[in-house]
Structure 1
Amino acid sequence: MPLTVGDKAPDFDLPGDGGGRIASADLAGKAYVLYFYPKDDTSGCTKEAQSFSCLAAEFEKIGVPVVGVSPDSPKSHDKFRAKYDLAVRLASDEDHGMLEAYGVWAEKSMYGRKYIGVERTTMLVGKDGRIARIWPKVKVEGHAEEVLAAAKGL
């Protein structure tokens, strides 16, 4: 069942880029952004990561960490961050547990072919650990700016 605004954000503890871990427990008590994307180093995902990276200092100023989550490996994330000098953390969910808990591991269709993958989605989690805002089926253009404006409003 998909998450809705007001739901408690599911807990997670995932391997992150650079060998660390990214866990909901470490983010408790602060608002944060989770953006779910299909694959490292593809055009839309790269644009989205670069957009959030360009605004990383703005998110930092308001104390709202941004974490990108995909099923790619930590090694893939390290290469992706280095190649594009990304300023956001990337978490790896290779077994799809978190992606499923957040309702973003879904059936998709491309060129008439159905497959299971990540539905590009962003969620803003409030300081209370509840989902404050959801952007389903994200269109990358202008998205990071819209998320920043919403985060400033918390």
Structure 2
Amino acid sequence: MSEELEQEAASVFEDRLWHHNGWEARVIKNEDDDGWAVAMTQDGQAEPSLVGPWTMGRDKKNPKPLDVSAFNTLVKTAHEVMRRHEQHLAAQLHKDIQILVNGSRVTVSLDIEPDEDNPSATLTATTEDGSELAKVRVRPDHSLSRASAQRWADAGYPRPGED
């Protein structure tokens, strides 16, 4: 059986549960009020990527059934939420600052390697053409600012503890 047919066979299309192409949309009772919510969970994930309000049906008691249009919109929205989360995480783990050193632009980068047991970070200085001027290990809580980058460059890019 082809992968596409297997995936189609594993798909579920019910009023309150759709599972298709690696995503599950489940309409659930909203715990905060009398309404309904929809939870979007990607296969392999324990927690939903997106939980949002869901429309009431015509009887004003039960939820509106899921349909292909709503499901596709929910998948697109869940992807966007995940992408923003990944961008936010990447921004927390990488930072670039440009400074001038002897009239030339230098980029100072801080890259944090998250690890529950042994997190680390690297501070790197590169020229405009990408040549590496210095690379040193720093504490993962190192605070990179334009002033700290300039001080590091002006001091000759010492290793921590050398300045």
Q: Report TM bin, short chain.
A: under 0.3
Please, what TM-score do these two structures have when normalized by structure 1? Answer: 0.26
Please, what TM-score do these two structures have when normalized by structure 2? Answer: 0.25
Q: Would you tell me which structure has more strand in proportion to its own residues?
A: 2
Pick the structure with greater CA Rg: 2
